[in-house]
């Protein structure tokens, strides 16, 4: 299993739990010291490579090298994401979120998809969000980026079915989970412990689910959001 964005939060805990379940894991991120610490903790089953997903060509070639070093790949978890970024202007900040959450995602998704097509099987997991189910004035590019990846993964599931590829595409629709991203943020509720949420994510991956709400109770919220008229949503956040 290769986890893109394994240096903190969900990705880091997923690396831990996957190794505990017997997987060989490759982790990436920009913070090399975190990757080194994880290897010290997890041992020889953990491989790592420094990667910035917004440097698209470099990221794809690093992914390929990591696959080679590990002797193959059956599952990739596209977990890297940001909700905001220090920048000189709002437009520059929004562009950065799109570079990481959308363009970085698409580039690595494409690389993995081609790899799995050649191999004949594989699983691509993306971490979207409940925030993708509606626009949020406090996080416009973030909520839009998560809507994009959910729709993108659905389209690829259709494509796999149409061309009869044995590639599973799993959309993890996450509610609030404890991590660096949610630390110190106000107004959050039902914030899940990282260990519990990641345990459910790993189970969903192993069951080859197509869409999984994490934690499970967020399925109810998703259902309710779909019932709320746009004119009400437009005034909520």
Ligand X SMILES: NC(=O)c1ccc[n+]([C@@H]2O[C@H](COP(=O)([O-])OP(=O)(O)OC[C@H]3O[C@@H](n4cnc5c(N)ncnc54)[C@H](OP(=O)(O)O)[C@@H]3O)[C@@H](O)[C@H]2O)c1
Considering the complex, what minimum distance in angstroms separates the CB of residue 27 from ligand X?
8
Q: Which CB, 20 or 31, lies closer to ligand X?
A: 31
Q: Which CB, 73 or 192, lies closer to ligand X?
A: 192
Considering the complex, what minimum distance in angstroms separates the CB of residue 173 from ligand X?
8
User: Cis omega (within 30 of 0) on the bond before 98?
Assistant: no
| Selection from 170, 48, 24 nearest residue 109 by Cα | 170
Provide long-range contacts, Cβ within 8 A and 24+ apart, for 151-159: 152/105, 152/106, 152/109, 152/126, 153/124, 153/126, 153/128, 156/109, 156/113, 156/124, 157/210
Q: Which CB, 52 or 165, lies closer to ligand X?
A: 52
Considering the complex, what minimum distance in angstroms separates the CB of residue 177 from ligand X?
4
Give me the numbers of helices (H) and strands (E) for the chain, helices first please: 9, 7
Q: Which of 23, 115, 142, 156 is catalytic?
A: 142
Considering the complex, what minimum distance in angstroms separates the CB of residue 72 from ligand X?
22
Does 142 participate in catalysis according to the annotation? yes
E strand spans, 65-217: 75-78, 122-129, 167-174, 211-214
Q: Which CB, 7 or 168, lies closer to ligand X?
A: 7
Separation between Cα atoms, residue 101 and residue 105, nearest integer Å? 6
Residues that bind ligand X (CB under 6 A): 5-11, 29-31, 51-54, 79-82, 100, 127, 129, 174, 176-177, 179-182
Q: Catalogue the active-site residues.
A: 142
């Amino acid at each position: 299993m290769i986890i893109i964005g394994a240096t903190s939060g969900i990705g880091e805990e997923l690396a831990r739990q996957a190794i505990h379940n017997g997987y060989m894991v490759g982790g990436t991120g920009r913070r090399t010291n975190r990757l080194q610490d994880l290897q010290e903790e997890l041992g020889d089953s953990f491989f790592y490579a420094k990667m910035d997903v917004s440097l698209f060509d470099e990221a794809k070639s690093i992914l390929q090298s990591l696959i080679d070093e590990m002797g193959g790949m059956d599952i990739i978890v596209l977990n890297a994401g940001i909700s905001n970024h220090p920048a000189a202007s709002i437009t520059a900040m929004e562009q950065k979120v799109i570079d990481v959450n959308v363009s970085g995602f698409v580039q690595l998704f494409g690389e993995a998809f081609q790899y799995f097509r050649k191999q004949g099987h594989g699983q691509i997991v993306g971490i979207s969000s409940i925030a993708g189910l509606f626009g949020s004035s406090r996080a416009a590019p973030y909520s839009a980026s998560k809507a994009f990846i959910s729709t993108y993964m659905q389209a690829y599931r259709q494509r796999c079915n149409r061309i009869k590829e044995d590639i599973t595409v799993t959309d993890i629709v996450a509610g609030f989970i404890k991590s660096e991203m949610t630390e110190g943020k106000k107004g959050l509720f039902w914030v899940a412990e990282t260990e519990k949420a990641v345990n459910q994510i790993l189970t969903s991956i192993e069951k080859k689910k197509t869409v999984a709400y994490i934690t499970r109770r967020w399925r109810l919220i998703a259902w309710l959001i779909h019932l709320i008229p746009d004119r009400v949503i437009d005034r909520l956040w």
